[in-house]
Structure 1
């Protein structure tokens, strides 16, 4: 229990520092965060920009004469109340954008994590069992190359080859515009079809990372004394591989699952933008493009919170599943 309390305190401190960094970074960017909304108001109401800026500031709750420290404490206060801010470009609260986009991102990330982990674990264990052979060399080399390829590069390749050239994948969206959302099998299949592109663009580099990690862990475990003892007892190779080697090699990777989900939440930005997939990453990219400071700050804060919380969960999971680590 003491361990969990200590980690929660540490989590809170890191969270405050990270979110403060996000606030300062965005607020030091040149320009007025209300300018985009002011332009829209000026065009709609046919008024001067000075008047439109005053209205935009009131809508967004911004006082241009306030000091940075006052704005900071109001931002932190709103964040702890669950208010992530206001989007000038979409003219709605960031909470509404998060509510409609986060499920799509979590859906794709969950698929990518499951596929990459299961395939990566199998390939890594298989490569370790074939150490020193051409199979091990091929798997390790290909995995090393793929891991170095950024997800957005894979996204461009997948989009160009399978959507533009072969036309077997949709170009964008979470589902066809002419299909009514429902819980029908047809709609679910359409959603899965649209998620294939961004899912594989995210999963393939992660798959390579899991493969290399599992190969390294398995090779290390195979050198342990208890494995030699099990072999000396005459246990079958399949029993040793499944019960002793694979389980122990997977322990650190299972705990890393939570961290990978958190980091994919942040690294998924360009992938969703390329596929025009309506998740958090798509709106994050849009906020950067149109300089929507309110939306940018809110989504940036959400991503930071997701990564830090995922890291905390991973530490707790590892302490629970590894008998060598005790919660104190």
Structure 2
């Protein structure tokens, strides 16, 4: 229980510092966050810009004359109440955008992570058990090369080859624009087809990373004394590989897995933008492009919260599954 409380308090401090950093960063960006909305209001209502700017400030809950401290207190108060702000570009609350985009991002992240982790740990363990042989060199070399390829470069290649050249995958979107969302087999099939590109662009570099990490961990575990003891007992190689080597080598990767999922909430901005996939990364890139400070602040805050929660879950789960770590 003490371990749980200590980690929770530590992450609360990290949360306050990180969120404060988001506020300072966005608050010091040049320009008025209500400017874009004011231009839209002035054009739609045919009024003076100064009057439209005043209306925009009220709509966004901004007082240009209040102090930085007051704005910070209001920002933290809204965030603690679950209010992530207002998007001037989309003319709606950031909460609504998050509710619309987060399921698509989580869908891609979960499938990409499952595929990459499952294949990566198998390839890494296999390569380590074949150390010094040609297959080990081949797997390690390919994994190193693939890991060095940025996901957005891979996304462009996938889009060009499979969508433009061979027309096997859709050019973008989460599903065809002429289809109504439903639970039908045809709609689900189209959703999966549209997600193949983003999933591959995310999963392939991840798989290479897991392969190299698992290979290193496996090679280290194979040198431990308990592995030699298991061999002296006459246990089958398959038993030693699966129950002794692979399980212990996977333990350090569990924490990385949870933290990686948290970072991926906003780390796939270019991938989702290239595929025009309506996830968090897509809206994050759009917020930067159109200088939508409200949306930018809200998504920044969501990403920070996601990373902190993922870190807490990773620490707690790792302490539960590893008997060498005590919950103190």
Q: TM-score range by the shorter chain?
A: over 0.9
SS of corresponding position for 1:167: coil
Q: Please report how far the alpha carbon of residue 233 of structure 1 lies from its aligned counterpart in structure 2 after TM superposition.
A: 1.4
Distance 2:54 2:161 in 1: 49
Distance 1:131 1:45 in 2: 72
Distance 1:294 1:254 in 2: 34
What is the aligned partner in structure 1 of residue 55 from structure 2?
Answer: 55
Q: Please report how far the alpha carbon of residue 318 of structure 1 lies from its aligned counterpart in structure 2 after TM superposition.
A: 0.4
Q: Please report how far the alpha carbon of residue 137 of structure 1 lies from its aligned counterpart in structure 2 after TM superposition.
A: 0.9
Q: Please report how far the alpha carbon of residue 16 of structure 1 lies from its aligned counterpart in structure 2 after TM superposition.
A: 0.6
Q: Please report how far the alpha carbon of residue 141 of structure 1 lies from its aligned counterpart in structure 2 after TM superposition.
A: 1.2
What is the aligned partner in structure 2 of residue 124 from structure 1?
Answer: 124
What is the aligned partner in structure 2 of residue 223 from structure 1?
Answer: 223
Q: Please report how far the alpha carbon of residue 243 of structure 1 lies from its aligned counterpart in structure 2 after TM superposition.
A: 1.2
Deviations 1:263-283 (A, max 9, x none): 111211111111100011111
TM-score after normalising by structure 1:
0.98
Q: Please report how far the alpha carbon of residue 256 of structure 1 lies from its aligned counterpart in structure 2 after TM superposition.
A: 2.3
Deviations 1:242-289 (A, max 9, x none): 111111111111232211111111211111111100011111111001
What is the aligned partner in structure 2 of residue 37 from structure 1?
Answer: 37
What is the aligned partner in structure 2 of residue 77 from structure 1?
Answer: 77
SS of corresponding position for 1:324: coil
What is the aligned partner in structure 2 of residue 173 from structure 1?
Answer: 173
SS of corresponding position for 2:167: coil
Q: Please report how far the alpha carbon of residue 172 of structure 1 lies from its aligned counterpart in structure 2 after TM superposition.
A: 1.1
Map 1:14-29 → 2, pairs under 5 A: 14-29=14-29
SS of corresponding position for 2:191: helix
Q: Please report how far the alpha carbon of residue 60 of structure 1 lies from its aligned counterpart in structure 2 after TM superposition.
A: 0.6
More displaced stretch, 85-94 vs 164-173 = 164-173
Distance 1:62 1:255 in 2: 40
SS of corresponding position for 2:172: coil
Q: Please report how far the alpha carbon of residue 113 of structure 1 lies from its aligned counterpart in structure 2 after TM superposition.
A: 0.4
Distance 1:255 1:291 in 2: 35
Distance 1:316 1:51 in 2: 53
**Matched positions, count:** 328
SS of corresponding position for 2:277: coil
Distance 2:6 2:48 in 1: 55
Distance 1:50 1:140 in 2: 62
Distance 2:236 2:281 in 1: 48
Distance 1:276 1:204 in 2: 19
What is the aligned partner in structure 1 of residue 162 from structure 2?
Answer: 162
What is the aligned partner in structure 2 of residue 198 from structure 1?
Answer: 198
TM-score after normalising by structure 2:
0.98
Distance 2:220 2:286 in 1: 45
What is the aligned partner in structure 2 of residue 102 from structure 1?
Answer: 102
- RMSD of aligned alpha carbons: 0.8
SS of corresponding position for 2:169: coil
More displaced stretch, 142-151 vs 184-193 = 142-151
Map 1:1-328 → 2, pairs under 5 A: 1-328=1-328
Q: Please report how far the alpha carbon of residue 162 of structure 1 lies from its aligned counterpart in structure 2 after TM superposition.
A: 1.1
Distance 1:224 1:194 in 2: 46
Q: Is the 8 A contact 2:266 2:284 kept in 1?
A: no
SS of corresponding position for 2:276: coil
Q: Is the 8 A contact 2:173 2:277 kept in 1?
A: yes
Q: Is the 8 A contact 2:273 2:285 kept in 1?
A: yes
SS of corresponding position for 1:248: helix
Deviations 1:114-156 (A, max 9, x none): 0000010111011001100111111111111211221111111
**Structure 2: any 5+ residue segments left out of the alignment?**
none
